[in-house]
C-alpha cells in the first residue's frame, strides 16, 4: 500500500512540470510583456522599465540561472505568484477568496451527490416504469437548459420577485444567508447530468447475478439496494465525484459572478476582465495541483473500497 501511494505521488512530478511549462508558454511566451498595458496610456519609458524590473520581465527568457523560465518554476513551487495588477500580492487575494468559495461549493457538491445517488437508486429500482421514463426525460431536459438560465431565473424569481433570499452578497450577511440560494440553484442545475449517470451505473449493477441471488434468498429491497448495489457501484461513483471537483469551479465561477460572492470564481472573472495574467497564472497552477492531488486520492480510495484492486 505504501509503495503504491508513493508511486502515485511520484506521478505528480511530471504533471506539475507539464503544467508549469504550459503556463510559462501561455503567459510568458504567447501572452508576452504586458508592462506597457499596465503602465497605461502615455506612460514614460521609465515607468515601463520600472514595471518590467519589478516584475522581472527584463530578465532573459532562458539560458541563465536568473532567467524568467527558471523563476517561473521557482516562484510557483514556493507559491509566490508576485503581485496582481492592483499591486496586491496574488496569494493574498486567493487566500481571501477560498472561504466564500468553499462555503458555496461544498454544500452544493454534497447536495448533488447525495440527492442524485439516492434518486438513482430509487429510479433504478422502478426501472422501465413510467416514473423511470419521466426521470430520464427530465434529466435530459435539465441537461439541455444552459447553466446561466438556471441562475438567472432562480435569482429573478426566488430572490428578486418573491424575496425569499437576498439578491446579492453583502458583507453583513452570514454565509448561510447569502449562500443558500446559489447552492439550491447549483444543486438543481447539476442534478440532471449526475442522476442520469448514476442511474446507468445502478442499472448495470442491478442486472448482475449477485443482485438476483440476494433477492432470491429473500433479502428486503432496501437491503439489496443500499447494502449490495450501492457498495458495488462505488467505483464509478467515486470516479465521477472526484472528477467533478474541478467542475465545481465552473459552478462557483458563474454563481459567484451573479450573486457577487467574493470567492475565487469572482476573482477569476475580474482577472479576465482586466487581463491580469498574474492572477490567472496562479489560479491555473493551484487548480491543476488540486486536481492532480485529488486524482491520486481517487486511486487510493479505489483501493480502499475495492479489495480486488491490487497495488501493483
Partner 1 sequence: MICFVIIVLYFLLAGFTYLAELCDWQVGPTRWAEEAGESYEPPSSKNIFGTDIFGQSVLRKTLYGTKISITVALFASFISITIGVPLGAIAGYFRGFVDEVIVWIYSTLSSIPYLLLIMAFAVVLRDKTLFGHKLTGITAVYLALGLTSWVGICRLIRGEVIKHRKREYVLAAMSYGCGDWRIISKHLIPNVFHIIIIDFSLRFVTFIHAEVILSFLGLGEAERPSWGAMIDDARIELSRGVWWQMAAATVAIFFISLALNIVGDALRDSLDPKLRIQ
Separation between Cα atoms, residue 176 and residue 65, nearest integer Å: 50
Given candidates 4, 5, 31, 73, which one binds partner 1 under the rule CB under 8 A? Answer: 31
Task: Output 60 or 260, the one with its CB closest to partner 1.
Answer: 260
Task: Output 103 or 288, the one with its CB closest to partner 1.
Answer: 288
Least distance in angstroms from the C-beta of 307 to partner 1: 26
Q: Is residue 145 at the binding interface for partner 1, with CB under 8 A as the rule?
A: yes
Q: Is residue 311 at the binding interface for partner 1, with CB under 8 A as the rule?
A: no
Reading the block at residue 118, the C-alpha cell is 439516492
Q: Is residue 102 at the binding interface for partner 1, with CB under 8 A as the rule?
A: no
Q: Is residue 246 at the binding interface for partner 1, with CB under 8 A as the rule?
A: yes
Number of residues that bind partner 1 (CB under 8 A): 51
CB 182 within 8 A of CB 261: yes
Least distance in angstroms from the C-beta of 294 to partner 1: 10
Reading the block at residue 230, the C-alpha cell is 450501492
Q: Is residue 163 at the binding interface for partner 1, with CB under 8 A as the rule?
A: no
Per-residue DSSP letter, 42: T
Least distance in angstroms from the C-beta of 30 to partner 1: 5
Scan residues 199-218 and list those touching partner 1 (CB under 8 A): 200, 203
Q: Is residue 253 at the binding interface for partner 1, with CB under 8 A as the rule?
A: yes
Separation between Cα atoms, residue 128 and residue 134, nearest integer Å: 10
Separation between Cα atoms, residue 77 and residue 135, nearest integer Å: 47
Given candidates 280, 282, 298, 299, which one binds partner 1 under the rule CB under 8 A? Answer: 280
Identify the residue whose cell numbers are 479576465.
272
Q: Is residue 140 at the binding interface for partner 1, with CB under 8 A as the rule?
A: yes
Separation between Cα atoms, residue 238 and residue 232, nearest integer Å: 11
Beta-carbon count within 10 A of 101 CB: 23
Separation between Cα atoms, residue 43 and residue 178, nearest integer Å: 42
The angle that helices 12-23 and 68-77 make with each other, rounded to 10 degrees, is: 130
Stretch that binds partner 1, among 19-27, 107-115, 180-188, 234-242 (CB under 8 A): 19-27
Given candidates 52, 55, 83, 127, which one binds partner 1 under the rule CB under 8 A? Answer: 127
Separation between Cα atoms, residue 251 and residue 187, nearest integer Å: 10
Given candidates 19, 57, 185, 189, which one binds partner 1 under the rule CB under 8 A? Answer: 19
Separation between Cα atoms, residue 172 and residue 114, nearest integer Å: 31
Which CA distances in Å does 61 have to 66, 93, 123, 164? 9, 27, 58, 55
Task: Output 64 or 208, the one with its CB closest to partner 1.
Answer: 208
Residues lying near partner 1 in the complex (CB under 8 A) are found at: 14-15, 18-19, 21-23, 26-27, 30-32, 127, 140-141, 143-149, 152-153, 156, 160, 196, 200, 203, 246-247, 249-250, 253-254, 257-258, 268-269, 272-273, 275, 277, 280, 283-284, 287-288, 291-292, 295
Amino acid at each position: 500500500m505504501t509503495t503504491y501511494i508513493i508511486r502515485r505521488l511520484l506521478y505528480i512530478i511530471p504533471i506539475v512540470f507539464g503544467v508549469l511549462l504550459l503556463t510559462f508558454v501561455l503567459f510568458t511566451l504567447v501572452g508576452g510583456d504586458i508592462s506597457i498595458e499596465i503602465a497605461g496610456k502615455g506612460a514614460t519609458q521609465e515607468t515601463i522599465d520600472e514595471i518590467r524590473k519589478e516584475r522581472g520581465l527584463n530578465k532573459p527568457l532562458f539560458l541563465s540561472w536568473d532567467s524568467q523560465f527558471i523563476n517561473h518554476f521557482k516562484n510557483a513551487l514556493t507559491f509566490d505568484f508576485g503581485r496582481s495588477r492592483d499591486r496586491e500580492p496574488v496569494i493574498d487575494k486567493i487566500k481571501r477568496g477560498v472561504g466564500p468559495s468553499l462555503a458555496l461549493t461544498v454544500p452544493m457538491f454534497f447536495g448533488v451527490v447525495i440527492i442524485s445517488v439516492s434518486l438513482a437508486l430509487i429510479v433504478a429500482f422502478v426501472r422501465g416504469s413510467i416514473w423511470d421514463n419521466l426521470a430520464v426525460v427530465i434529466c435530459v431536459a435539465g441537461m439541455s437548459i444552459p447553466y446561466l438560465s438556471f441562475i438567472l431565473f432562480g435569482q429573478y424569481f426566488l430572490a428578486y420577485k418573491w424575496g425569499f433570499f437576498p439578491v446579492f452578497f453583502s458583507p453583513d450577511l452570514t454565509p448561510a444567508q447569502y449562500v443558500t440560494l446559489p447552492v439550491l440553484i447549483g444543486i438543481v442545475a447539476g442534478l440532471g447530468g449526475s442522476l442520469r449517470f448514476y442511474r446507468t451505473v445502478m442499472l448495470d449493477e442491478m442486472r448482475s447475478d449477485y443482485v438476483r441471488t440476494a433477492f432470491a434468498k429473500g433479502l428486503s429491497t432496501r437491503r439489496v439496494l443500499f447494502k449490495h448495489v450501492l457498495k458495488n457501484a462505488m467505483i464509478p461513483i467515486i470516479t465521477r465525484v472526484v472528477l467533478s471537483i474541478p467542475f465545481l469551479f465552473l459552478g462557483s465561477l458563474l454563481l459567484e459572478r451573479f450573486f457577487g460572492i467574493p470567492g475565487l470564481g469572482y476573482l477569476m472573472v475580474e482577472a479576465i476582465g482586466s487581463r491580469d495574467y498574474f492572477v490567472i497564472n496562479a489560479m491555473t497552477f493551484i487548480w491543476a495541483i488540486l486536481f492532480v492531488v485529488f486524482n491520486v486520492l481517487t486511486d487510493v480510495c479505489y483501493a480502499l473500497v475495492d479489495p480486488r484492486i491490487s497495488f501493483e
